[in-house]
A and B are shown apart, each in its own frame.
Chain A
Amino acid sequence: MSKQMIISISREYGSGGHEIAKMLAERLGVAFYDRNMLDDIANEMEVDVENLHKYDEKRRLPIVRRTVRGYSNSPEEIVAEFQFDYLRKKAAAGESFVVVGRCSEYILREYPGMIPIFILGDEDEKSKRVQMVRGVSDSEAKSIMARHDRTRKYYHNYHCPYKWGDSRTYELTINSSKLGLEATTDVIMNFIKVRMEHTEN
Chain B
Amino acid sequence: MTVASIIAIIIFVVMFILVITEKIEKHITTLCCGGLALIVVFGICLRDFEAIWNTINLEAMIQPEFWRSAGESESGGIDWATILFLAGMMIMVEGMARVGFFRWLCMLIAKLVKYKTVPIFIAFMTISFVLSMFIASITVILFLAFITVELSKLLKFKPVPMILAEIFCANLGGSATMCGDPPNIIIGTQLGYTFNDFIMNTGVIAVISFVFTVAYFYIIMRKDLKTTVSVEDFADLPAPSSAITDKPGFIISAIIFIASVILLITHGTTHLTVAAIGVIVAVVTLITSGKHILEVLKGVDYKTLLFFVGLFVVVSSLEQTGVLKIIAEFIQSISGGNVFLMVCIIIWMSGFASAFIDNIPFAATMVPVIKALAVTTGINIDVMAWSLAMGTDIGGSATPIGASANVVGTSAAAKAGHPIGWGVYCKKMVPPTIIVLLVTTVYICAVYL
Contacts and interface: CB of A to CB of B under 8 A. Distances in A.
B337 interface: no
Interface stretch (A47-55, A87-95, A103-111, A190-198): A47-55
Interface string A32-48: 00000000011001110
A75 B421 contact: yes
A52 B417 contact: yes
Interface in B354-405: 400-401, 404
Interface in B58-112: none
A51 B417 contact: yes
Interface stretch (A7-15, A59-67, A117-125, A171-179): A59-67
A52 B419 contact: yes
A62 B21 contact: yes
B414 A64 contact: no
Contacts of B21: 62-63
B407 A68 contact: yes
A71 B416 CA distance: 13
B41 interface: no
A48 to B, nearest CB: 8
Contact of B301 (A63, A69, A75): A69
A68 B20 CA distance: 12
Interface string B125-147: 00000000000001000100000
B407 A66 contact: yes
Contacts of A67: 22, 407
A72 interface: yes
B169 interface: no
Contacts of A42: 417
B379 to A, nearest CB: 34
B418 A51 contact: yes
A30 B199 CA distance: 65
Nearest to A61: B422
Contact of A79 (B22, B407, B419): B419
Given A63-B21, A64-B401, A69 B304 contact: yes
B313 interface: no
A143 interface: no
A157 interface: no
B52 to A, nearest CB: 31
Contacts of B412: 71
A140 B418 CA distance: 33
B114 interface: no
B304 A55 contact: no
Contact of A73 (B301, B411, B416): B411
B226 interface: no
A72 B419 contact: no
B418 A71 contact: no
A31 B97 CA distance: 43
Given A63-B21, A65-B401, A47 B410 contact: no
Contacts of A181: none
Nearest to A41: B417
Contacts of A64: 400-401, 422
B406 interface: yes
Contact of A66 (B401, B414, B415, B420): B401
B153 interface: yes
A134 B173 CA distance: 52
B138 A69 contact: yes
B408 interface: yes
A78 interface: yes
B405 to A, nearest CB: 9
Nearest to A76: B419
B414 A73 contact: yes
Given A65-B401, A73-B401, A45 B416 contact: yes
A-B complex: 9 closest residue pairs judged by Cβ atoms: A75-B419, A47-B417, A45-B417, A71-B411, A73-B410, A68-B407, A78-B414, A66-B401, A73-B411
18 contacts: A47-B416, A51-B418, A65-B401, A66-B22, A67-B407, A68-B407, A69-B138, A69-B303, A69-B408, A71-B408, A73-B400, A73-B406, A73-B410, A73-B414, A75-B414, A75-B419, A75-B420, A75-B421
Interface of A: 41-42, 45-47, 51-52, 54-55, 62-69, 71-75, 78-79, 82
